[in-house]
């Protein structure tokens, strides 16, 4: 019997194998048959009541029919929708939706003027009691619990402050954080390319988009000169390892907003059409990148109004791209975990006659430790295999039976996917 063992390791930034040639077996960058991945990541600001929140959820998930990312406030001084608002309906709806994955982001510890470390445990205690897991943190406006480096007045990772909480927050399960980092270049986790800058110019909004482009060029130049505030332009990673001010390491991710008037203006439901326009989605597919869109669906949420026509049309177009197998649309938690797990997947491939044995050993996570993944963590993972070959995927000595062989994709290669 002919046997050949080929080592494999995770994907690097451009989705190619880092150091090994795997002959014809290769970890596919995205699940079959997709060419790009996107999430609409909405902050909960201005979604003041449970009714408003339910309306947004229903519209995007049912009327349009796509998953997206939504967040929650643990506290709110003015009694707006929040986990610990004191209204049982808020509490049970938020807990149920976190459990079901339709809320996956904690939006700082919310709006609480006297926030301090002692407010942290009641939040996580409540989540733990109800089997809720949250891995993604997003800073909110000027909340003192923020983690930002350059604005937003975050004190959450400064051990000398009463607001310090990040040790408890990481212990409670947060792995990914977003602070204040926004890009307007389409497609992350692919090398920086000046062509992505040129498409910022929009003849329909000539002056605004020109200014926007000029500002972006300045930031990119500063990034190449070593200006740390803008270093994410140069690397163009979706996720990078970040050392908090208390010395802990977490994954920091970048969000996208290319609005011609800037992200601070173009962050509402009515502006969403511009962020997921046909031009953006085509570029995203072309560069085969990741994209986490920054928006607030509760701001100016009026899907029935005439001014929402363009956004509704763009959302339906995104749904079509998803159904056609072009763009993998999921929540932020799913996209971020997929990106990290494929990046650090430790696997080998052995050939026995015409059968390829893909052996998954572990995920070698440099921040939170190596682990053997649960098969559910590997759902949608896809490996290219030679045409006509048979393949099996083995995880920790046991074959994963839920797999399917896919016909050739747009690149002409056949593949096997864990389902
Ligand atoms: Zn916010």
CATH number for the domain harbouring residue 307: 3.20.110
Residue 196 has pLDDT above 60, yes or no: yes
For residue 138, the CA-to-ligand 1 centroid distance in Å is 8
286 lies in the same domain as 413: no
pLDDT of residue 242: 94
Residue 14 has pLDDT above 80, yes or no: no
Segment 267-283, tens digit of pLDDT: 999 999 999 999 999 99
DSSP run (H or E) holding 42: strand 36-42
pLDDT of residue 10: 56
Confidence of residue 22 (pLDDT cuts 50, 70, 90): very low
For residue 241, the CA-to-ligand 1 centroid distance in Å is 23
Segment 209-228, tens digit of pLDDT: 999 999 999 999 999 999 88
- % of the chain beyond a pLDDT of 70: 94
For residue 31, the CA-to-ligand 1 centroid distance in Å is 31
Give domain status of residue 330, yes or no: no
Q: Quick one: DSSP state of residue 275?
A: H
Question: Considering its fold, how many domains does the chain have in total?
Answer: 2
Which domain range does residue 90 map to? 36-324
For residue 43, the CA-to-ligand 1 centroid distance in Å is 5
Q: Which residues contact 335 (CB under 8 A, 6 or more apart)?
A: 37, 38, 39, 290, 292, 328
For residue 347, the CA-to-ligand 1 centroid distance in Å is 40
For residue 384, the CA-to-ligand 1 centroid distance in Å is 41
- % of the chain beyond a pLDDT of 90: 85
Confidence of residue 3 (pLDDT cuts 50, 70, 90): very low
What is the chain's mean pLDDT, rounded?
92
Segment 307-319, tens digit of pLDDT: 999 999 999 999 9
pTM: 0.94
192 lies in the same domain as 121: yes
Instruction: Kindly report the backbone phi and psi dihedral angles of residue 399, in degrees, each rounded to the nearest multiple of 5, phi listed first.
Output: -70, 135
324, 347, 377: which is the final residue of a domain?
324
Cα-Cα-Cα-Cα torsion 369, 372, 378, 381, nearest 10 degrees, comes to 80
22 lies in the same domain as 45: no
21 lies in the same domain as 52: no
Give domain status of residue 249, yes or no: yes
Segment 133-163, tens digit of pLDDT: 999 999 999 899 999 766 667 899 999 999 9
Confidence of residue 9 (pLDDT cuts 50, 70, 90): low
Q: Give the C-alpha separation, 295 to 251, whole Å.
A: 21
For residue 283, the CA-to-ligand 1 centroid distance in Å is 28
Give domain status of residue 383, yes or no: yes
pLDDT of residue 7: 55
Give domain status of residue 411, yes or no: yes
271 lies in the same domain as 297: yes
**Given the structure tokens 């072309």, which residue do they identify?**
286
For residue 267, the CA-to-ligand 1 centroid distance in Å is 11
Residue 13 has pLDDT above 60, yes or no: no
209 lies in the same domain as 223: yes
Confidence of residue 263 (pLDDT cuts 50, 70, 90): confident
pLDDT of residue 352: 85
For residue 38, the CA-to-ligand 1 centroid distance in Å is 20
300, 324, 348: which is the final residue of a domain?
324
pLDDT of residue 229: 87
Give domain status of residue 275, yes or no: yes
77 lies in the same domain as 215: yes
Confidence of residue 5 (pLDDT cuts 50, 70, 90): low
For residue 296, the CA-to-ligand 1 centroid distance in Å is 8
Give domain status of residue 329, yes or no: no
pLDDT of residue 416: 96
Cα-Cα-Cα-Cα torsion 372, 335, 301, 185, nearest 10 degrees, comes to 150
295, 324, 353: which is the final residue of a domain?
324
pLDDT of residue 20: 37
For residue 126, the CA-to-ligand 1 centroid distance in Å is 22
For residue 107, the CA-to-ligand 1 centroid distance in Å is 7
25 lies in the same domain as 101: no
Spell out a b/e string for 10-31, using b for 16 or more CB atoms within 10 Å of the CB, else e: bbeeebebeeeebebbbbbbbb
189 lies in the same domain as 301: yes
What radius of gyration do the chain's Cα atoms show? 22
236 lies in the same domain as 357: no
Q: Give the C-alpha separation, 345 to 347, whole Å.
A: 6
Residue 15 has pLDDT above 70, yes or no: no
149 lies in the same domain as 253: yes
Give domain status of residue 209, yes or no: yes
Give domain status of residue 331, yes or no: no
CB 285 within 8 A of CB 191: no
Work out the number of other CB atoms within 10 angstroms of the CB of residue 202: 17
For residue 387, the CA-to-ligand 1 centroid distance in Å is 49
144 lies in the same domain as 243: yes
Segment 336-381, tens digit of pLDDT: 999 999 999 999 998 888 899 999 999 999 999 999 999 999 999 9
């Amino acid at each position: 019997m002919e046997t050949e063992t080929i080592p494999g390791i995770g994907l690097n930034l451009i989705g190619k194998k880092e150091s090994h040639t795997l002959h014809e077996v290769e970890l596919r960058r995205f699940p079959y048959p997709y060419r790009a991945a996107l999430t609409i990541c909405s902050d909960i600001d201005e979604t003041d009541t449970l009714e408003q929140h339910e309306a947004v959820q229903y519209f995007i998930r049912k009327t349009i029919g796509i998953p997206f990312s939504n967040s929650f406030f643990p506290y709110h001084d003015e009694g707006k929708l929040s986990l610990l608002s004191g209204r049982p309906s808020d509490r049970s709806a938020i807990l149920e939706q976190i459990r079901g994955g339709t809320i996956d982001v904690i939006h700082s510890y919310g709006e609480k003027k006297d926030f301090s470390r002692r407010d942290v445990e009641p939040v996580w205690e409540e989540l733990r009691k109800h089997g809720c897991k949250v891995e993604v943190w997003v800073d909110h406006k000027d909340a003192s619990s923020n983690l930002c480096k350059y604005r937003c007045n975050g004190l959450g990772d400064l051990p000398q402050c009463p607001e310090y909480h990040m040790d408890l927050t990481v212990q409670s399960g947060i792995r990914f954080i977003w602070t204040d980092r926004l890009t307007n270049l389409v497609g992350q986790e692919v090398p920086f390319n000046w062509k992505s800058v040129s498409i910022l110019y929009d003849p329909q909004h000539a002056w605004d988009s020109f200014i926007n482009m000029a500002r972006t060029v300045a930031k990119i130049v500063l990034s190449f000169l070593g200006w740390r505030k803008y270093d994410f332009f140069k690397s163009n990673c979706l996720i990078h390892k970040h050392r908090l001010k208390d010395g802990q390491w977490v994954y920091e991710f970048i969000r996208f907003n290319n609005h011609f008037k800037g992200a601070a203006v173009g962050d509402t439901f009515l502006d969403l059409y511009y962020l997921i326009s046909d031009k953006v989605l085509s570029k995203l597919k072309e560069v085969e990148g990741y994209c986490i869109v920054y928006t607030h669906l509760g701001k100016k949420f009026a899907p029935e109004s005439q001014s929402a026509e363009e956004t509704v049309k763009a959302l339906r177009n995104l749904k079509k791209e998803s159904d056609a197998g072009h763009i993998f649309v999921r929540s932020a938690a799913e996209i971020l975990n997929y990106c990290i797990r494929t990046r650090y997947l430790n696997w080998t491939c052995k050939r026995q006659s015409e059968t390829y044995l893909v052996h998954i050993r572990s995920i070698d996570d440099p921040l939170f430790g190596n682990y053997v993944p649960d098969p559910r963590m590997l759902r949608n993972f896809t490996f290219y295999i030679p045409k006509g070959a048979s393949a099996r995927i083995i995880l920790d000595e046991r074959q994963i039976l839920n797999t399917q062989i896919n016909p050739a994709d747009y690149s002409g290669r056949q593949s096997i996917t864990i389902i």
